[in-house]
Amino acid sequence: MKRTVLLALAVTLTGCYALYEHRIDGNRVSVYGDHDLARLESTARFVERAMEGFRRLFPNGGRDVPPPRVVYEVDELTQNNVYLPYPRQEGYYLPMLRLVHLSPQIVESASDDKGAPLEELEAARVVTLHELSHHFLISVLPESNSKYWLNEGFACVMETAWLGDGDDLIVPYFHPWLHRRARLALTSELGEKRFMAELRSLLDASWMTFHRKGNKTLNYAISYVAVAFLLQNETEGAIEDRLRQILGWSTDELMARLERLPDVVERPPATVLAELAQSPVHRTWALTEWVALGAPDRNRLVRELQNCLDSDLPDQRCLGGELSARVLSRRHARPQAFSGLESQLARRLSSAPHEERIAIAGDLTPLDRGSPCLEPLIELLQSHDEELRIAAAGALTRSGLKPMIARPAFWRNAAESRREAEIAEWRSWLDGVLRTDE
């Protein structure tokens, strides 16, 4: 809280200069921070592209929205918490100061390169879009500032978007995780009557009530499903026009229009994602989210992944290989539905084009000594292509089945004789496994 007060005072008096060492100026946005100039520069580029995407969603008032000040601040106490398996990023928006504050905790790992552009870091992209949604909604429609359910619900709708060609924001209007949370509340925790009563209370909730400790995630989930439903089913025109229509309705009118919401919320997230996966625009996103959700409705997911693997399009085959590897690498008993995928991946590791083999090896973790993927991965350690050697070494290292040299620099630059010695150890180990199994 003290930090927020100091930040507000410094911005008011000095425009952020008093608190931060660096300022990166893009064409229409400035980003402030103390660390990692490369990340500040990629943040500025992404925010500018996203701002253009939002302006197209708000064709009337969006062009007059001034750029926000963006502060990218790493928390000194937690920036080195490398034990976390994923990047964390939190943020907030201060309307009076037009300030977007991003507090990333970026984990240095093979899957989260410090030099990667911000838009390639899922957590960073999500939070940036969430906070920019607040900036545009409140700037274009100031009366929305006190409608916390609408503000947060709209931001949650937009945080699953991504930038397409020409900086258009592609919005799937579906947040699998928040939909699942709302569905749990509706079907198990509250029931329909109490769910709708909770929704009604949120429509008129104060800031303190909306953000009360213990209920915040549920409040976000209920607000999200309500806003997504209204935008898709009860309004028309550009998003700006639809939001203006929603703001014009009373609480009673909103509840009347949301009468069918429980029927939508009851649908399993995998069912919605399967439908979205039929659209070429949404397919990659939908299948990726489906796998991340824990791969529910497994038989249907396997059919979709098989369709990707059999596609004539190289990017779809790479997607199928990557996601199949991700599913098979979870440390739990593999269901029968996935039994044929591993053998397919083993064959593709031996014979598929370079990009497909990289996609598979990059996400694959053989979980037991009987994996058919072990032998082709060991073969890839001998490849003349250093990228394939590094990807294969990463997959074998993640398996934890045998100690090995994991450093990419070794598989890129070490003398061939040293690499051959390491490969010989793997072959000897695998021969021993095969003899034992016999």
Is residue 395 within 8 A of residue 407, CB to CB? The reply is no
Give the tokens for residue 283: 């397919």
Burial of 380 (0-12, 13-18, 19+ CB in 10 A): buried
Q: What are phi and psi for residue 33, nearest 5 degrees?
A: 180, 175
pLDDT in the model for residue 79: 46
Instruction: Compare 435 and 193 and report the one with higher pLDDT.
Output: 193
Angstrom distance (rounded) from CA 328 to CA 342: 7
Average pLDDT over residues 176-196: 96
Cβ(34)–Cβ(21) below 8 Å: yes
- pLDDT at residue 437, as a whole number: 61
User: What pLDDT, on the 0 to 100 scale, is given for residue 78?
Assistant: 42
Using the predicted structure, report yes or no on whether residue 310 has a pLDDT greater than 70.
yes
The answer to whether 71 and 30 have CB atoms below 8 angstroms apart is: no
Of 392, 271, 241, the closest CA to residue 325 belongs to: 392
If one compares 99 and 256, the residue with the highest pLDDT of the two is 256
The answer for residues whose C-beta is within 8 angstroms of residue 269's C-beta and 6 or more apart is 176, 179, 180, 183, 293, 296
Q: Which domains does the chain have, with CATH numbers?
A: 2-119 (no CATH), 176-265 (no CATH), 269-437 (1.25.10)
How do residues 284-299 score in pLDDT, each as one tens digit? Answer: 999 999 999 987 888 8
pLDDT at 19: 73
Q: Is the dihedral of CA 185, 187, 189, 193 positive or negative?
A: positive
pLDDT of residue 21: 83
- Reported as a single tens digit per residue, the pLDDT across 97-121 is 888 888 764 322 323 444 555 555 6
For 245-256, what is the mean pLDDT? 97
> Residue 98: exposed, middle, or buried by beta-carbon count in 10 A (0-12, 13-18, 19+)?
middle
What pLDDT is recorded for position 13?
A: 42
For 12-55, how does the pLDDT look when each residue is reduced to its tens digit (9 = 90+)? 545 555 578 888 887 788 888 886 788 788 888 889 999 999 99
**Residue 6 pLDDT level (bands cut at 50, 70, 90):** low
Question: Residue 309: exposed, middle, or buried by beta-carbon count in 10 A (0-12, 13-18, 19+)?
Answer: buried
Residue 90, pLDDT score: 75
pLDDT of residue 349 exceeding 90 = yes
Task: Report percent pLDDT > 90 for the chain.
Answer: 62
pLDDT band at 335 (very low <50, low <70, confident <90, very high): low
- Mean model confidence pLDDT for the chain: 86
Q: State the average pLDDT over residues 62-79.
A: 75
Task: Return the pLDDT at 38.
Answer: 80
Pick the closest to residue 395 from 410, 411, 406 (CA basis): 406
pLDDT at 80: 44
d(C-alpha 54, C-alpha 152), whole Å: 16
Q: How far is CA 368 from CA 318, 398, 420, 421, 424, in A?
A: 24, 11, 24, 23, 20
